[in-house]
Structure 1
Amino acid sequence: MSGIPKDLVVETTEVDREQFLATFSREEEKKIRRKVDRRFVLLIGLMYMVKQIDANNVSSIKVLQEGQPSNILNELHMSANQYNWVSSIYTIAYIIFETPSNLLLKRFTPRLWQTRIFFSWGIVLACQAAVKNQQGLLALRFSLAILETGSYPGILTQLNSWYPSDEMAKPAAWLLGISQCSSIFGSLLCYGISYMDGVRGLSAWRWVFIIEGIITILFSGIIFIALPDYPKSPRSNKWLSPREQNFIEARLGDRAPKTEDAPFSMQEVLEAVRSPIQWSFTFSQMLINLGMYALTWYLPTLTTSFGYTKLPANQLLNIPPAATGIIGVGMGALILRQAVASRPVQLMIYNAGIILSFILFFTVSATAGLYVACMLGTFFINIYYIPFISWRSATMKGATGTAFAWGLQNSIGQIGGVIGPQLFRSEWAYNRYKNSFGIAMAGVIAAIAANLACWWLTKTQEKDCLRAAQIKRQESKLDGV
C-alpha cells in the first residue's frame, strides 16, 4: 500500500509473530495499549454521543411545548402517527446507504471520511429548522440519514484494526457508555432550549435543530484533528514507533484488517454475503434493535403520559434510564473482562433480562412500575451489546470484509428502527401500548434463536477465545505477556 514505509511491512511478514510479540515486556504492552486508548476511547464515545443526540432528538422535540401552538406537531400540522415516520424514514435511508458508505472508509481513510460525515450532516441538521410542512421534514430527515450513514459501523470497523476481539470490551464500553449520555445531554439541551421558544420569532424545536447542527459542524473539526487512521498509516508515525506499530497489528491475528490491505476486495464481500455467520448476527441485531428503538421512542411518551407535560420534568425524567444504561455498559465490560463465561452464555442471560422488562409492561399498571420497566430494559439492552460487539469482531476477516460485514449488519439491523416507532400508533394507546410491547418482545425472543445459531456456527472458535482470555487474565496477574 502506498505511503507505508517498507520496514513496517517487512518486519511483520518475515519475523515469526509469536517470537516478535515475545520480545515485549508486560510493561511495554501496557504502555502501547494506553497510547491507543488515549487516542480512541474518549473520542469515539463523543462521536457516537453526538450522533445519538442528533438521531434521537425528534422524540424529545415531539413533547416540547406540548399542547401549545409552537409545538412541532401543531406547526407542521402532523398527527402523532404521521410523526412516527420522522424516525422510520430516517432508518430507511440507513438500510439503503449504510453499507456503501462504510465501504468507502478505507479508500478515503477513517479521519477524512468521518470528518465529511459529521460536517455534512451538521449542515442538513441545522437546515431542518427551516421546514414548513411534514413533507419538508421527512425529506430532510431522509437526507440527514444518507449523509450520516457509515458513522457507527465506521467506528467499529476502525477499532477492528487496532484492538483484538477479546479486548473490544473496553472501547465498546466507552463507545456505548458515553453515548448513553446522549439522553442526558439531549434532554438537558432540549430543556434549556425550550426557554428560547419565540426568540427571534422561532419556536424552541427549530432552535434545537439549529444549535445541534452548529455543534455537529464544529465537532467535525475535532475529528479532523484528533482521529487516527490505521496503525501503520503515515499519521501514526507521530505518536507510535515502527516497532510499536508492528506490535499493534501483530497481536490482532491473521484475519483482522491491516493497514496494507487493499481498499476493496470483491472476494471478501462475496465471502461475507455467503457466510451464515453474517446473517445470523445480522438478524440478531435487527431483532434486538426492535426492542431498543421501541423503548427509545416510547420513553418521552411515557413520561408525558404521567402528566409531566411541563418543563423541566418531561425532559429530566429521561435521565435516570440513561444512567441505568451507563451502569449496564460498565458491568458488561467488567464481566466480559473477567472471562467467567463465554460471550453467547452472557447474551442468553441478557436476552432473558430484556424479556423480563417487557413482561412488566403487561403486568404493571402503575406509572412508577412502567418507568422502572423502561429503566430495566435500557439496562439489559446496553449490557447486551458489550459481548455482542466483542463476539462479532472475532468473526470478521480483512479490511473490505470487515467494513462490508459491519455495514450490512447495521443497515439491515435498522429494520428494527423502522418498525419500532411504528408500533406506537395512537389507536394502541388505550392499554398503554401492550400490543406494541408484545410485538417488540416477540422480536427479542426470536433474537434468542438467532443467537443460538451464531453460537452453533462459532462454537469451536468461542471455546478457543474463552480459553485464551482466561490464560491472558492469569498471565496478567503474574505480570506475564
Structure 2
Amino acid sequence: MSTLTELDITPAPPLAVGYEEEDDIAKTEVANIRSEFTYDDSKRLLRKADWRLLPLLIAMYLCKNMDGNLVSYVKTMNTGESGNILKSLNITANQFAFAQTCFSVTYIVFEVPSNLIIKWASPRLHFFRILVLWSVVCACTAACTNLAGFLTARAFLGLAEAGLLPGIYWQLTCWYRPDEIALRMASLSVLGQFSGIIDSLFTYGLSYIDGRGLEGWRWAYLICGLIGLLLSVWLFFFFPDFPDSPSSRRQFLTQEEGKFLVARLPPNAARSTDANFDWQAIKRELKSPLLWGFSFFALCMNSSLYGLAFWLPTIINSFGLTKGPKSQLLNIPSAVISIISSLSLSWILDNDTKIPRPIFMLSGATGLIGVFLGMIFCKSSGGLYALILLAQLFASLMTCALLPLRSQSLRGATSAAFIMAFQNAWGQIPGLYTAQFFQTKYAPRYAVSYSISIVFVIALMISVLFIWYFQFNLEKQTREIARLRRKEGKKNIVVEEDVSL
C-alpha cells in the first residue's frame, strides 16, 4: 500500500495518521477545553446541534429534490391529455430528455465557483442565496410556453442550485467527526428522498385540477417555488454557521460549548478561523490521487443511476400495473425502500468499526449489477417492479459510505469546499447524457440502457479499489480511533485527547 507521504498528507502522532500536527500551544488549549466536558456532555451537545442544524439542511435538500424529481413526474401527469407537459410545450419525449442536459451544463460550470465562496459569504448567506434564486426560477418555469423557454428555465435552475449539495456536505464536516457523519448524512439524504413521495402525491392530486386556471404541471412548479421562498425566511433567521461563530450566529450554544465542539473535531476539519480562500490548498488537492479517484467514482455512480432515476416514473408507468393518475402512487414504495435502507445502513456505518467502508461500496455495486442483469432478462411486470425496488437497496449500500470515507482526508475550509464541489461537479456530468440512455427506442425492455449501466458500475468498482489502495492505512486507523475513542470515553467519562481523531 502507498504511504501517507505519497498522498501529501502529513503524518500525525500514532492513531492519528493523515492529520496535520497542531503546535504545542494549540494542543494544550484543545486538551484544556476537552477536559471540561465529559463523554455524555459531547453526546448532549451533538443532539442540540442535530436539532438546530439538520432540520434546516433536510428542508433545503427536500426542496431541491422536489424540483429535481418534479421534472420526471410532470411528464406522466395527465398523459395523453391536452394538459400534459409534452402537449402544452408541443415537444416529444426525446426532446424533453434534454431538460436534464441543460440543467447539468450550468450546474457543472458553476458548482466549484459557487462553493468556494461559502466560507467568505458564511454558510447562512450562501444557502440563502441559493434557495431564493432557485425558488424564483422554479416558480417561473410555470410560465414556459415552448421547448426553448423550458430548457432555458432548466439551465438557470442549474446555475441557481450550484453549490447547494457540496455546501451541505462541507457544513456537516464543520460540526461532526468522520465516524459520526454517516447517519447524519443519511438522515439528510433519505428524508430528502421524501421528495419522491411528496412529488408522487403532489402530482397525483394536481392531475385532478388540470385546466382550472393553469395546467397541473404549471401548478406543480409554481407551488414548489413558493415553498422554497417560505423556507428561505426560516433559514435566514435561524441557520447557524460554525460551532464557534459569534453568539448571534451560533445562537443555541454557549461560547464554551462551541469551542468544545470545535476542539473535538480532527485537526484537518474546516473551522471559522480558517482563511476564506487558499489557492495553495486547491493546487495541492489537484495533485492528489484521492481527488481524482473519488471524482471518477461520482461520475461512474451517477452514470449508472441518473438515467434510471430520470425516467423511473415513465418506466414504472410502462409496466401497466395500474392506469391513470394512480400510476403516480407506484413511485412511493421505491422512495420508502431507499429511506429505510439508507437509514439502516448508515446506522451500521456509524456504529461498526470492523468492516472497511470500501467493502460496503463494492457489495452494493455487485448487487446492482445483479439487479440490472435481472431487468434485462425478466419478462414479468411484477418482477421488474420488484427489481426496481431492490435497486434502491443496493444503491444505498453503494453510496452511504461515500461521505464518511471522503471526509477522513479533508484538510481545511478551502480544501474541503473545493473537494466537495469538484467531486459533485463530476457527479453531475452524467446528467449531460444519461437521460439519453433510456430513449423510447429502447422501450419497453431497455436492455441496451441497463447494459450501459452495468459497464459504469464495473468502472465504479475499479475506482473504489483505486481509492482503497491510496487510503488503506487512513481508513483502517480511522476505524481504530473511533473504536478506542468510544471505549475510553465511556470508561473514563472524560473525552481524552489521545483517543481522538
Shorter-chain TM-score above 0.5: yes
Query: How many angstroms does 1:206 deviate by?
Result: 0.8
Supply the distance in 1 between the matched residues of 2:78 and 2:323 (Cα, whole angstroms). Answer: 8
- Say which of 65, 83, 87 aligns to 1:74: 87
- The answer for the alignment partner of 1:270 in structure 2 is 283
- The answer for the alignment partner of 2:482 in structure 1 is 469
Consecutive unaligned residues of structure 2, counting only runs of 5 or more, are 1-22, 496-501
- The answer for the alignment partner of 1:405 in structure 2 is 419
- The answer for the alignment partner of 1:204 in structure 2 is 216
Query: How many angstroms does 1:476 deviate by?
Result: 5.5
- Give the 3-state SS of the residue equivalent to 2:52 in structure 1: helix
Runs of at least 4 residues of structure 1 off by over 6 A? Answer: none
Query: How many angstroms does 1:192 deviate by?
Result: 1.2
- Give the 3-state SS of the residue equivalent to 2:355 in structure 1: coil
- The answer for the alignment partner of 2:119 in structure 1 is 106
Query: How many angstroms does 1:309 deviate by?
Result: 6.7
- Say which of 242, 245, 254 aligns to 1:233: 245
- Say which of 187, 190, 194 aligns to 1:174: 187
Does the CA contact (< 8 Å) of 1:49 and 1:180 recur in 2? yes
Are positions 1:148 and 2:176 aligned together? no
Aligned length: 470
- Say which of 288, 292, 297 aligns to 2:305: 292
Query: How many angstroms does 1:16 deviate by?
Result: 4.6
- Aligned pairs for 1:67-466 (under 5 A) are 67-200=80-213, 202-234=214-246, 235-307=248-320, 310-336=323-349, 337-429=351-443, 432-466=445-479
Paired amino acid for 1:259: S
Does the CA contact (< 8 Å) of 1:125 and 1:209 recur in 2? yes
Supply the distance in 1 between the matched residues of 2:489 and 2:371 (Cα, whole angstroms). Answer: 37
Does the CA contact (< 8 Å) of 1:126 and 1:210 recur in 2? yes
Does the CA contact (< 8 Å) of 1:76 and 1:132 recur in 2? yes
Does the CA contact (< 8 Å) of 2:61 and 2:192 recur in 1? yes
Paired amino acid for 1:135: A
- The answer for the alignment partner of 1:4 in structure 2 is none
Provide closer, same or farther for how the CA distance between residues 294 and 478 of structure 1 changes in structure 2, counting only shifts above 3 A.
Answer: farther
> What value does the CA root-mean-square deviation take over the aligned residues?
1.8
Does the CA contact (< 8 Å) of 1:325 and 1:383 recur in 2? no
Supply the distance in 2 between the matched residues of 1:383 and 1:369 (Cα, whole angstroms). Answer: 21
Supply the distance in 1 between the matched residues of 2:321 and 2:75 (Cα, whole angstroms). Answer: 14
**% identity of equivalent residues:** 36
Does the CA contact (< 8 Å) of 2:33 and 2:259 recur in 1? no
Consecutive unaligned residues of structure 1, counting only runs of 5 or more, are 1-9
Supply the distance in 1 between the matched residues of 2:251 and 2:24 (Cα, whole angstroms). Answer: 19
Supply the distance in 2 between the matched residues of 1:230 and 1:313 (Cα, whole angstroms). Answer: 45
Supply the distance in 2 between the matched residues of 1:145 and 1:20 (Cα, whole angstroms). Answer: 43
Q: Deviations over 1:245-267 (max 9, x none)?
A: 12111111211111111111101
TM-score (norm 1): 0.94
Provide closer, same or farther for how the CA distance between residues 237 and 104 of structure 1 changes in structure 2, counting only shifts above 3 A.
Answer: closer
Paired amino acid for 2:146: N
Stretch deviating more after TM superposition (375-384 or 455-464): 375-384
TM-score (norm 2): 0.90
Supply the distance in 2 between the matched residues of 1:269 and 1:454 (Cα, whole angstroms). Answer: 19
Query: How many angstroms does 1:18 deviate by?
Result: 4.0
